[in-house]
Structure 1
Amino acid sequence: MRILLVEDEDPLREQLARELSQRGFPVDAAPDGEEGLFLGREYPMDLAIIDLGLPKLSGIELIRRLRELERTFPILILTARDSWQDKVEGLEAGADDYLTKPFHVEELVARVKALLRRAAGHASPVIEGCGIRLDTARQTVAVDGRPVELTGHEYRVLEYLMLHAGKVISKTELTEHLYDQDFDRDSNVLEVFIGRLRRKLDPEGQRKPIETLRGRGYRFRTDID
């Protein structure tokens, strides 16, 4: 899940980018509102974290511009202001949630995960389908109650497909939303991950939870239990 982070405090921006990256979120970071607007306009994001007190273009104005551009991804605002009016203004501009500085990184990550789930239509951290149980909070996977060990890349591919179950997801969309910009998009690495997932989740080849639609991409099936 690709995240746009717009924060002008260098140490905080670097810390949050590092913490989110370590948790498997590719991050595009910007130090001001103008660069944040460019990134949010030009690249496919799944969520934005935006500080209200930004240079060049305020956080409120950045949120308004993104919504005017019909960018519908969830937005979490960060603010050092305790005034309820500032929080209301941010929410009315189009934000979905807020955190007041200082905050614990664990709380920010929990809110990010919750916003991503809700945006995909899931209220619970547990997603189930085809006998697979994926816990987005604990980042664990089980098939018919049996734990399955996945690598970080394998888990992120499965999570994205299950969050968008029933939808056709192209290879380009998967790589843009799941991996950093330096990921080798011309390689067959993604196909390798899909192959490994199929062997781990469905070793007997009975359920076939992940479909390949030739020339279109992949789809997590919703027509089987």
Structure 2
Amino acid sequence: MMKILVVEDELDLLESLVEDLRLSGYVVDQATDGEMAEQMIYEETYDLVVLDINLPKRSGLSVLEEVRSYNKEVNIIMLTARSDVEDRVSALDMGANDYLLKPFYFQELEARIRSLLRRKSVQQDSQLSCGALTFDTSSRQVLVNGQQLTLTRKELGILEYLLLNMGRHISSEELIEHVWEADSNSFSGTVRVHIASLRKKLKAELGHNIIQNVIGKGYIIEEKL
């Protein structure tokens, strides 16, 4: 059973998230300020922490920095206001695994949680697979029917991120945030160019497209092909 800590000082939102996550089958603890959160993370073992940036007593960024000084394994999703661009960049630089902009739909948060917990489970096994395709995250090699496929560094990064998030739509903006460098000036057109090249190479070997693009939702590799 996966254990999650939700840290949020907006009580209505906190109660809603805790209830929905418990209904989804998770064991959930809650905290309403930074000091309480830091103590709970230190004393308990969590698979994932949902951590608001703007907290009383101690900010979410301060908690994140402290936790990362002794715990590199726990997954952390930051909740941020739409205007806090600098805070989002700081959170990622300080070791947050992901972030979500308020307001958000619970289904999106749950999808991010499933994605991160899936990544945690595959860390024990470096092989990511989809049909005849295998991605070895240790050697950074992609095999199709046992034959190595040559990809660029960006293509490898995109494919790895889509495989780690298999079954979830990924926007161009999210790919830029997670595959490109923080100081990159990339935009959605850049992503489309790399995706097109990657899809062409994969289709040549697999005989079909495994990366689908759904307008308004983003790119996705389905779990069942």
TM-score, reference length from structure 2? 0.53
Runs of 4 or more above 6 Å deviation: 122-126
Alpha carbons of structure 1 residues 121 and 86: separation in structure 2 relative to 1, 3 Å = same
How is 1:113-128 mapped onto 2 (pairs within 5 angstroms)? 113-121=114-122
Q: Report the Cα offset of residue 101 of structure 1.
A: 0.3
For structure 2, which runs of at least 5 residues remain unmatched after alignment?
131-225
Cα distance in 2 between the residues matched to 1:50 and 1:110: 16
Aligned to 1:103: 104
Cα distance in 1 between the residues matched to 2:7 and 2:18: 10
Cα distance in 2 between the residues matched to 1:92 and 1:55: 22
Aligned to 2:8: 7
TM-score, reference length from structure 1? 0.53
Are 1:36 and 2:37 an aligned pair? yes
What is the identity, as a one-letter code, of the residue corresponding to 2:77? L
Higher relative contact order (CA 8 A, sep 6+): 1
Cα deviation 1:118-158 (Å, max 9, x = unaligned) = 122269799xxxxxxxxxxxxxxxxxxxxxxxxxxxxxxxx
Cα distance in 2 between the residues matched to 1:62 and 1:4: 13
Aligned to 1:83: 84
Paired-residue identity, %:
41
Q: Report the Cα offset of residue 71 of structure 1.
A: 4.5
Q: Report the Cα offset of residue 109 of structure 1.
A: 0.3
Q: Is the 8 A contact 1:6 1:50 kept in 2?
A: yes
Q: Report the Cα offset of residue 53 of structure 1.
A: 0.2
RMSD of equivalent CA atoms: 1.9
Q: Report the Cα offset of residue 20 of structure 1.
A: 0.2
Q: Report the Cα offset of residue 83 of structure 1.
A: 3.3
What is the identity, as a one-letter code, of the residue corresponding to 1:10? L
Indicate the SS of the match to 1:76: strand
Q: Is the 8 A contact 1:49 1:75 kept in 2?
A: yes
Aligned to 1:192: none
Cα deviation 1:162-190 (Å, max 9, x = unaligned) = xxxxxxxxxxxxxxxxxxxxxxxxxxxxx
Alpha carbons of structure 1 residues 71 and 42: separation in structure 2 relative to 1, 3 Å = farther
The count of corresponding residues between Structure 1 and Structure 2 is 126
Cα distance in 2 between the residues matched to 1:25 and 1:3: 7
Aligned to 2:52: 51
Q: Report the Cα offset of residue 70 of structure 1.
A: 2.1
Indicate the SS of the match to 1:4: strand
How is 1:1-225 mapped onto 2 (pairs within 5 angstroms)? 1-121=2-122
For structure 1, which runs of at least 5 residues remain unmatched after alignment?
127-225
Q: Is the 8 A contact 1:82 1:100 kept in 2?
A: no
Q: Report the Cα offset of residue 27 of structure 1.
A: 0.6
Aligned to 2:204: none
Cα distance in 2 between the residues matched to 1:125 and 1:54: 40
Q: Report the Cα offset of residue 84 of structure 1.
A: 2.2
